[in-house]
């Protein structure tokens, strides 16, 4: 039982490049979400999903796209990377709205 798996662990991009951060969970959780962690600011919600085919924006959605075609996967797409997107990204999932979040181990992204 792997839990929440994020890939890659580290990534360096040049400004303007695009990429996808992968997130997969094997716990049959309905809820999945993406957060970014910046120094001194805690974690902030980017996008979330309450089930396959349903996504919605969080606090800081600009510059990011998501889709949820399966229960297991919730990829985060950076369309045109900017230095302001340098951060640590966490994917999380939960069984339902009352359950606590299970977090992946994070992806450290640097945009130069």
Partner 1 sequence: AQTVTQSQPEMSVQEAETVTLSCTYDTSESDYYLFWYKQPPSRQMILVIRQEAYKQQNATENRFSVNFQKAAKSFSLKISDSQLGDAAMYFCAWGIQGAQKLVFGQGTRLTINP
Interface ranges with partner 1 (CB under 8 A): 31, 33, 35, 40-45, 48, 50, 58-59, 88, 90, 92, 94, 97-98, 100-101, 103, 105-106
CB of 77 to partner 1, least distance (A): 20
The residue among 52 and 88 lying less far from partner 1, judged by its C-beta, is 88
Q: HSE, CB side, 13 Å, CA atoms: give it for residue 9.
A: 1
The residue among 65 and 94 lying less far from partner 1, judged by its C-beta, is 94
- Annotate 13-76 with DSSP letters as a single string: E-TT--EEEEEEESS--SEEEEEEE-TTS-EEEEEEEEETTEEEE-SS-TTEEE--SSSSB--E
The residue among 15 and 99 lying less far from partner 1, judged by its C-beta, is 99
């Amino acid at each position: 039982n792997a839990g929440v798996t994020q890939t890659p662990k580290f990534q360096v991009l040049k400004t303007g490049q695009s990429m996808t951060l992968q997130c997969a969970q094997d716990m049959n959780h309905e809820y999945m979400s993406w957060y970014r962690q910046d120094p001194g600011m805690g974690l902030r919600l980017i996008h979330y999903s309450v089930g396959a085919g349903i996504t919605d924006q969080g606090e800081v959605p600009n510059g990011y796209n998501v889709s949820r075609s399966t229960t297991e996967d919730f990829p985060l797409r950076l369309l045109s990377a900017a230095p302001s997107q340098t951060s640590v990204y966490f994917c999380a999932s939960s069984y339902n709205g009352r359950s606590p979040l299970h977090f992946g181990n994070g992806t450290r992204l640097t945009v130069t």
